[in-house]
Amino acid sequence: MDSDTLTPPRLCVAALYRFARFDDPLALKAPLDAVCRENGIRGTLLLAQEGINGTIAGSRSGIEAVLGHVRSLPGCVDVDVKYSEAVQMPFHRMKVRIKREIVTMGEEGIDPQASVGTYVEPEDWNTLISDPDTIVIDTRNDYEVAVGTFAGAVDPETRSFRDFPAWFRQERETLLADGKTKVAMFCTGGIRCEKSTAFLKQEGVEEVYHLKGGILKYLETVPQEQSLWRGECFVFDQRVTIGHGLSQGSYGLCHACRRPVSDEDRVSSLYEEGVSCPACHGERTDEQRATYRERHRQETLAAMRGEAHVGAAYPKREGGAAD
């Protein structure tokens, strides 16, 4: 067989998280970083006293080596992992970072290990959210919801997960009016729902549910003809969005603001590849756009030479490495 016709092996992408108690996260950083680099893994892993969160990519054997190390960490034997595939490496480098929280809510005393909502399997999710007594809340940020969400879900229109507690407290009476007694929440991979359901429980809401494994597990598990998902799902890597069966989505990425870019956005006069999109054009100065333009030029030249540009790390969007 002509080697030019061979299909290149797909890369394994693993989104993982685990709430656990790490007394000294800094002591865990170097060994974790080392096993990732030894196995050619790229991505981002966050460590905090409350656990680990991240998304990494590489060969399947390399991913399994890293997961073996993660499972050896305190309380991480049952780390939550969701697998998908990528044709090209979706990350530029490997980063292990120490954070205050593995997903930032900014609320004191929220402990998903002590109190959390009821997990709902993807196969049972449609029944729950179709119940007229259930209020369904999308806990993700506005730019994620704009790409896709569940039919009938409430969009908090938050720009950051930090905004969620204030939004819920303000809207609580309206949300739970008309006899609605159950709250069902969902997010990309499950981690934000661990905190949001723990928060609602702390706020005194008794019947709280969340989608086990998040949208990713739902899209992997539920057949498209039975699905109540509408649109695509934003993911925090260079794939940008995915669809049913975890297939590659249709959106690109604005490398100035990290928001998804649709075909319609690309024909806008406010869109310039690597520089701006309709969502962020008014948020940046001409000087900033000039900087982005030069960066994009350097990256293009590096790609033509077959090199990785040293500055190929784009502005970070809130949301977490895995979620």
Could you give the residue numbers annotated as active site?
187
Please identify which residue in the block is written with the tokens 């449609």. 126
Q: Which of helix, strand or coil describes residue 20?
A: coil
Closest by CA position to 275, among listed 283, 145, 147, 141? 283
- The structure tokens listed for 232 are 């695509």
Residue 8 to residues 5, 12, 37, 315, Cα–Cα distance (Å):
9, 13, 22, 30
Dihedral angle over CA of 168, 170, 171, 174, nearest 10: 140
Do the bridges between strand 182-186 and strand 94-98 make them parallel or antiparallel, or are there none, so unpaired? unpaired
Position 78, amino acid: D
Q: Quote the CA–CA distance of 33 and 25 in Å, as a whole number.
A: 12
Contact between 48 and 100 (Cβ < 8 Å): yes
Q: Where are the beta strands (DSSP E) in the chain?
A: 11-19, 42-48, 51-58, 80-86, 94-98, 118-120, 134-138, 148-150, 182-186, 207-211, 229-231, 233-234, 241-242, 252-253, 260-261
Cross-strand partners of 46: 53, 97
DSSP 275: T
